[in-house]
Amino acid sequence: MPSKVRIALDAMGGDDGAAVVIPGAAISLARHRDTEFLLVGDRARIEPELDRHPELKSVSRIVHTDVAVSGSDKPSQALRRGRKTSSMWLAIDAVKKGEADVAVSAGNTGALMAMARFHLRTLRGIDRPAISAIWPTQRGQSVVLDLGATIGGDARHLVALAVMGAAMVSVVFDKKRPTVGLLNIGTEEIKGHEEIREAGEILRAMNLPELEYIGFVEGDGIGKGVADVIVTEGYSGNIALKAAEGTARQMAELLRNEIQRSWLSKLGYLFARNAFQALRDKMDPNKSNGGVLLGLNGLVVKSHGGINAEGFAYAIDVGYEMAHYDLLNKINQMLNREGGALNSVQTAQEAVS
Amino acid sequence: MPSKVRIALDAMGGDDGAAVVIPGAAISLARHRDTEFLLVGDRARIEPELDRHPELKSVSRIVHTDVAVSGSDKPSQALRRGRKTSSMWLAIDAVKKGEADVAVSAGNTGALMAMARFHLRTLRGIDRPAISAIWPTQRGQSVVLDLGATIGGDARHLVALAVMGAAMVSVVFDKKRPTVGLLNIGTEEIKGHEEIREAGEILRAMNLPELEYIGFVEGDGIGKGVADVIVTEGYSGNIALKAAEGTARQMAELLRNEIQRSWLSKLGYLFARNAFQALRDKMDPNKSNGGVLLGLNGLVVKSHGGINAEGFAYAIDVGYEMAHYDLLNKINQMLNREGGALNSVQTAQEAVS
């Protein structure tokens, strides 16, 4: 690993492009001094922002392009129009070429997935990539995946997600043998989703040194923090994430409205300000910003599109951590060591069937 | 419809059985005086509770059985052991025989689904039943289904859910043409879940007089209240519900803990008490208790198992409303009128394919 963490930013991604990306980078840089940035996008937009952040400017290099993937582009359109030219592509390309350790983009998810997959290719042993993120829980934080990269998938896919998620936890939280649960619903015997049951049997049979499989977890188990890693396919993972984020926003808004209704409750709010701040700090979707694309030959982080500079800085932080702690090599080691994770799926599959 | 609403209660369902069911019934009775109860379960457990609620006693009849379905029974076990004898079965049986307008149970979901389906059978035009519930939103309340009765399902199944959900909204919220959205994830072009896209095309092509189809809704759209009815298959519906409930509980707990940390914030809490109470009232999962089993020849309501008397009373309230406003006939009318909802699915399916 190089002594500095080199981060390529898609400076045209997200609702506000450079106006959010550049100040976001400045915030993140203040937290991680050993960062260098490649700012990919329209020089005319980037430079005025950069002039306001001299420290950032001194560790940044601009890669100019005026082609941007739009939020409404379908993945196939984005690939057709933006391949080799768009800021999103060029940020990924910097990772591919080894000029950056990680790329961060707030551009549209489908396009980012498609470009990253097309250009970086999946890791050996991985058929389909995943998006993972850190989820605040009652007991701390968990890693949840897949949040929408791949819809559906067989038992082997779920096992691969478990292995990658465990690698991410061991990198981010420095845990030796993270616990892993498979997201499921309570009713045991209802027909369907044999792949989840099968994945559970395989994980149990494999008894990997890198993770401890604890069984099925229901939707409310995520927030309880019953496992370090929660594994599910991308459709239900995305639904769970958005339903939870929606509820958090709904409650915050409701409380704010109710507090505005009387001077007494406004006063109460002032007194209890620290408590509210703590709640915001912990449940703020901004602070959980930064979905890591897993399963690719290169590190890519997806930020929410409609985010402010502070929120974008958290996505950069995630990218920094993943690069700094060498996530990719750890995943690769777990996937491909002799007798390692996915090599033994076949054996385990035969043992349980 | 009879002048009184007759409700059969499984007095042995849930974690605490009669100790919660009977006081719950007393609470609900105070809100709906035109109720009569059939209390199905162990007389020795029911009578002591009933003696404390003379008004309830005067409108109740006990149907004795000492056979109970346990929370850990698998559906098939429950059917084998509890058919014709268990309190759950006999409550459903009262609906089947026309002795009750609705059955309410806090017993295990899988067993309740299996027994209700086995004994009551599905409505004409419906292959598989659903569980629906009322979800508090920023704009009021929505009906969400399926919350876990049936995993997966084709486009026709999703269309049937849309029709049943719309009927429920028109009954509960007195809306003529409720809006309906299909739960989906944002990334449009990713492979998978053709059935959701197809269901959307069918609903658009059918252009039913009973509902207005508004398109796809993401997970955070549920809490925003973007549609009166949110339709999804049972696995993702269950995950969404539990993820949202989990987040609500997590936030409430976090705020409580933070407020306990200083005397100033405790004081603030006292001042802002009304605001907190309003939040609790609106987001309390207890108050959203009561999942309605839809698609059966009879009304059955599922309560959470680990609930207190107040929470169980809400499930009874839901049962009362469904029976009082004649949900079943409305659904049947929508499903089976000449040229009605599901009759035209075939035509619409051909038109869009």
Give the closest-approach CA distance of A57 to chain B in angstroms. 35
Give the span between the Cα atoms of A148 and B261, in whole angstroms: 38
- Domains in chain B and their CATH numbers? 1-120 (3.40.718.10), 126-288+326-353 (3.40.718.10)
B138 and A255: CB-CB below 8 Å? no
Give the closest-approach CA distance of B254 to chain A in angstroms. 7
Region of A121 (left: φ > 0; alpha: ψ -120 to 50; beta: rest) is left
Average pLDDT, chain A: 90
Long-range contacts of B31-35 (CB under 8 A, 24+ apart): B31/B313, B31/B317, B32/B5, B32/B317, B32/B320, B32/B324, B34/B3, B34/B4, B34/B5, B35/B4, B35/B5, B35/B6, B35/B7, B35/B59, B35/B320
Facing residue for B152 by CB, picked from A148, A192, A283: A192
- Residue A343 pLDDT more than 70? no
Give the closest-approach CA distance of B141 to chain A in angstroms. 13
Residues ≥6 apart with Cβ < 8 Å to A123: A295, A296, A297, A331, A332, A335
Chain A residues in contact with B219 (beta carbon < 8 A):
238-246
Q: What is the pLDDT of residues A206-223, one digit of tens each?
A: 999 999 999 999 999 999
CA distances from A203 to A123, A179, B112, B134 (A): 20, 11, 31, 37
- Residue A1 pLDDT more than 70? no
The candidate with the shortest Cα–Cα distance to A226, out of A237, A239, A213, is A213
Facing residue for A244 by CB, picked from B221, B244, B268: B244
- Residue A198 pLDDT more than 60? yes
Chain B residues in contact with A192 (beta carbon < 8 A):
151-152, 235
Give the span between the Cα atoms of A336 and A316, in whole angstroms: 28
Facing residue for A272 by CB, picked from B148, B251, B269: B269
Facing residue for B242 by CB, picked from A219, A269, A282: A219
Q: What is the pLDDT of residues A6-19, one digit of tens each?
A: 999 999 999 999 99
Chain B residues in contact with A275 (beta carbon < 8 A):
255, 258-259, 261-262, 265, 268-269
> Which phi and psi (to 5°) does residue B61 adopt?
-130, 140
B221 and A246: CB-CB below 8 Å? yes
B268, containing H or E segment: helix B263-271
- At residue A171 the predicted structure's pLDDT band, cuts being 50, 70 and 90, is confident
A74 and B189: CB-CB below 8 Å? yes
Chain B residues in contact with A148 (beta carbon < 8 A):
185-187, 190
Residues ≥6 apart with Cβ < 8 Å to A151: A233, A234, A235, B185, B190, B191, B192, B193
- At residue A186 the predicted structure's pLDDT band, cuts being 50, 70 and 90, is confident
Q: What is the pLDDT of residues A148-169, one digit of tens each?
A: 998 889 999 999 999 999 999 9
B223 and A262: CB-CB below 8 Å? no
| Confidence at residue B338, expressed as pLDDT on a 0 to 100 scale | 54
B18, containing H or E segment: helix B18-31
List chain B pLDDT tens, one digit each, 353 residues. 458 999 999 999 999 999 999 999 999 999 999 999 999 999 999 999 999 999 999 999 999 999 999 988 888 899 999 899 999 999 999 999 999 999 999 999 889 999 999 999 999 888 889 999 999 998 899 999 999 998 889 999 999 999 999 999 998 888 999 999 999 987 555 556 889 999 999 999 999 999 999 999 999 999 999 999 999 999 999 999 999 999 988 888 888 888 888 888 888 888 888 888 887 777 776 777 889 999 999 999 999 988 999 999 999 999 999 999 999 888 888 887 655 666 666 666 666 65
List the structure tokens of B190. Answer: 């990713």
Residues ≥6 apart with Cβ < 8 Å to B44: none
Facing residues of A231 across strands?
A145, A182
Facing residue for A185 by CB, picked from B219, B221, B239: B239
| Confidence at residue A29, expressed as pLDDT on a 0 to 100 scale | 98
Q: How many CB pairs under 8 A join A and B?
A: 261
Give the span between the Cα atoms of B308 and B24, in whole angstroms: 8
Facing residues of A302 across strands?
A105, A291
- Helix/strand/coil (H/E/C) assignment for every residue in chain A: CCCCEEEEEECCCCCCCHHHHHHHHHHHHHHCCCEEEEEEECHHHHHHHHHCCHHHHHCEEEEECCECCCCCCCHHHHHHHHCCCEHHHHHHHHHHCCCCCEEEECCCHHHHHHHHHHHHCECCCCCCCEEEEEEECCCCEEEEECCCCCCCCCHHHHHHHHHHHHHHHHHHCCCCCCEEEEECCCCCCCCCCHHHHHHHHHHHHHCCCCCEEEEEECHHHHHHCCCCEEECCHHHHHHHHHHHHHHHHHHHHHHHHHHCCCHHHHHHHHHCHHHHHHHHHHHCHHHHCCEEEECECCEEEECCCCCCHHHHHHHHHHHHHHHHCCHHHHHHHHHHCCCCHHHHHHHHHHHHC
- At residue A344 the predicted structure's pLDDT band, cuts being 50, 70 and 90, is low
A190 and B272: CB-CB below 8 Å? no
Q: Where are the beta strands (DSSP E) in chain B?
A: 5-10, 35-41, 60-64, 102-105, 130-136, 141-145, 179-183, 212-217, 229-231, 291-294, 299-302
Facing residue for B138 by CB, picked from A242, A253, A283: A253
DSSP conformational letter for B314? H
- Comparing alpha-carbon positions, the chain B residue that sits nearest to A264 is B271
Chain B residues in contact with A269 (beta carbon < 8 A):
268, 272, 275
Chain B residues in contact with A186 (beta carbon < 8 A):
109-110, 148, 238
Give the closest-approach CA distance of A291 to chain B in angstroms. 15
Give the closest-approach CA distance of A148 to chain B in angstroms. 7
- At residue A352 the predicted structure's pLDDT band, cuts being 50, 70 and 90, is low
A185 and B235: CB-CB below 8 Å? yes
A269 and B268: CB-CB below 8 Å? yes
B267 and A265: CB-CB below 8 Å? no
Chain A residues in contact with B279 (beta carbon < 8 A):
251, 254-255, 258
| Confidence at residue A339, expressed as pLDDT on a 0 to 100 scale | 55
With tokens 């941007």, the residue in question is: A68
Chain B residues in contact with A251 (beta carbon < 8 A):
247-248, 251, 279, 283
Give the closest-approach CA distance of A53 to chain B in angstroms. 35
Q: What is the pLDDT of residues A28-49, one digit of tens each?
A: 999 999 999 999 999 999 999 9
Chain A residues in contact with B151 (beta carbon < 8 A):
185, 190-193
Chain B residues in contact with A74 (beta carbon < 8 A):
188-189
Give the span between the Cα atoms of B314 and B20, in whole angstroms: 12
